[in-house]
Amino acid sequence: MASERADIVVTGTGVISPAGPGTARLWEAMAAGKTFFDQPTDGGLPWPTAAVDSSEISWPAGRSWADASKYANQSARWAVAVARQALEQAGISGATEDVRGGTIMAVASSGDELSDVIPQLASAFRHDSRPLVKFLHDEVPDYSYIRGIPSQLGQFVSMASGFRGSNVAAYGEAAAGGTGALALAARLLESGELDRVLVVGVGAPLTVTGMAAFDQDEPFGTRATTGAGPFDAERAGTLAGQGAAAILLERADAAVGPVRARFLGCEVLAAADLPTAAGFAVDAVLGAADSAPAVWWAHGAGSVRLDRVEAETVLSRLGTLPVTGSKGTVGNAFECSALIDTALAVESLVRGELPPVGLLGRLDPGLSGLDPVIGEPRPVPPAATVLLTALGQGTEATAAGALLLAAAGERATNRGKADA
């Protein structure tokens, strides 16, 4: 006997981007054709970056939050801010403990906050009269211990949500923009372990060393003007960005918030090479869903190679679809790029329009099968389903993700059955 997969819905989204706080704010910036890149200057870094202005990001009020603020670095503050946006949209105050709710953080698997701190402390201690234990207690940033905890960022998010069912981290999410965390959340909901999961990712500012390493492996773009956008004939490299995003998924039969979109499935797969992984991921989500996508939200990095891989993957399976992407507007915020795109795709389904691709002037003739949204928003068909794709960065990348979303009015029916 077969049983139908759980009906999963999106009830809240949150975004911090170079456009400012809020999913709607970023969507409207895309619709207006705005971009947010700081262009390279003489003597500076050669890569334009879309940077977040943290001045609009607030920390919650109250004694417990004031006590916790010492332990919160910038990533924690961004994580809490986007979580609160998603919770407010869903009508969840976080005032009571919810053991059927959980938190999943999408984080990178490399980098060590202490690597820059320890040499500075060693130098400072040589001329400090305090005992070493006292010196370290006073001077070592508390957030530096984040790598030794499954997710300290998740602890802050759990404070905001009241969710006590889980607090876990999906590491390595720079490879697929947070789709791994979404796939894990879906499985927790489908299994019945939880009724709601808040997925949060933070793409913090890249260090100079990090940017140089990425650029050496697969070039970053050195300009961010019209003609350098995703799928453009003159594109020359991935455009870098930063930001944070939160997606609140709930089982439909236990949802607290109003349904904004239906979550039809998400897969993240690795293979011998990126084209194979991308094909596997798309095939997996398409094979489990009854409805074929009517529009496509692309990863659209602006990389000559990655854009070609992505286009060939989708065109060979689905033919021409209206396509858009956010990275020509706000760049690639690695750990949460797909979470940002998910929030924007949900916003597009709610509004019934698909915003244009930023910085796209002339479609690459080699990608002639694409139908990019250019200039102004395009209507989304009623009851539409959206395919979203995410690719790893770099010549050695072997992971890709894909997910399907449907308009809120459509039941998330799936062909995927579990035999009992």
- 101-121: per-residue pLDDT in tens? 999 999 875 444 444 455 556
Instruction: Report, as an integer, the average pLDDT of 282-302.
Output: 94
- The predicted pLDDT at position 45 comes to 85
Instruction: Report, as an integer, the average pLDDT of 35-55.
Output: 89
User: Which of 132-136, 159-163, 247-251, 289-293 is predicted with the least confidence, judged by mean pLDDT?
Assistant: 132-136
DSSP string spanning 315-355?
HHHH---EEE-SHHHH-B-GGGHHHHHHHHHHHHHHHTEEP
- The predicted pLDDT at position 5 comes to 67
Residue 39 has pLDDT above 60, yes or no: yes
Helix/strand/coil percent split, the chain, to 5: 35, 25, 40
Token pair of 297 as six digits: 């939200």
Burial category of 420 from C-beta neighbours within 10 Å (exposed 0-12, middle 13-18, buried 19 and up): exposed
Helix, strand or coil, per DSSP, at residue 54: helix
Residue 137 has pLDDT above 70, yes or no: no
Instruction: Report, as an integer, the average pLDDT of 333-355.
Output: 97
The span from the first CA to the last CA of the chain, in angstroms, equals 5
- The predicted pLDDT at position 419 comes to 30
**Pairwise CA distance, residues 88 & 14, whole Å:** 9
Residue 337 has pLDDT above 90, yes or no: yes
For the chain, give every domain's residue range: 8-107+151-410
- The predicted pLDDT at position 2 comes to 36
Residue 412 has pLDDT above 50, yes or no: no
Instruction: Report, as an integer, the average pLDDT of 187-215.
Output: 92
pLDDT band of residue 415 (cuts 50, 70, 90) is very low
* pTM: predicted TM-score of the whole model, two decimal places: 0.88
Q: How much of the chain, in percent, has pLDDT values that exceed 70?
A: 87
- The predicted pLDDT at position 191 comes to 87
257-283, pLDDT tens digit by residue? Answer: 899 999 999 999 888 999 999 999 999
Instruction: Report, as an integer, the average pLDDT of 231-248.
Output: 97
> Which residues neighbour 216 within 8 Å (Cβ) at sequence distance 6 or greater?
none
Name the residue type at position 103. T
Instruction: Report, as an integer, the average pLDDT of 222-246.
Output: 96
Burial category of 60 from C-beta neighbours within 10 Å (exposed 0-12, middle 13-18, buried 19 and up): middle
**Pairwise CA distance, residues 283 & 319, whole Å:** 14
> Any idea what DSSP says for residue 381?
P
Please state at what angle helix 274-287 crosses helix 304-318, rounded to 10 degrees.
Answer: 30
Beta-ladder partners of 170 = 106
pLDDT band of residue 147 (cuts 50, 70, 90) is very low
Is residue 150 within 8 Å of 131, Cβ to Cβ?
no
The closest alpha carbon to 294, from 203, 199, 366, 378, belongs to 378
Helix, strand or coil, per DSSP, at residue 403: strand
Compute the Cα dihedral for 416, 417, 419, 420 and give only its sign: positive
Q: What is the topology classification, in CATH, of domain 8-107+151-410?
A: Peroxisomal Thiolase; Chain A, domain 1 (3.40.47)
Beta-ladder partners of 16 = 21, 244
Token pair of 73 as six digits: 């670095």
Instruction: Report, as an integer, the average pLDDT of 207-226.
Output: 91
pLDDT band of residue 48 (cuts 50, 70, 90) is very high
Which ranges of 50-90 would DSSP assign to H, the alpha helix?
63-68, 74-90
> Which residues neighbour 110 within 8 Å (Cβ) at sequence distance 6 or greater?
174
Is residue 387 within 8 Å of 349, Cβ to Cβ?
no
Largest Cα span, the chain: 74
Beta-ladder partners of 262 = 9, 406
Name the helix (H) or strand (E) containing 263: strand 261-270
- The predicted pLDDT at position 117 comes to 53
- The predicted pLDDT at position 40 comes to 81
- Which has the higher per-residue pLDDT, 153 or 323? 323
Mean residue pLDDT of the chain comes to 88
Instruction: Report, as an integer, the average pLDDT of 335-340.
Output: 96
- The predicted pLDDT at position 418 comes to 29
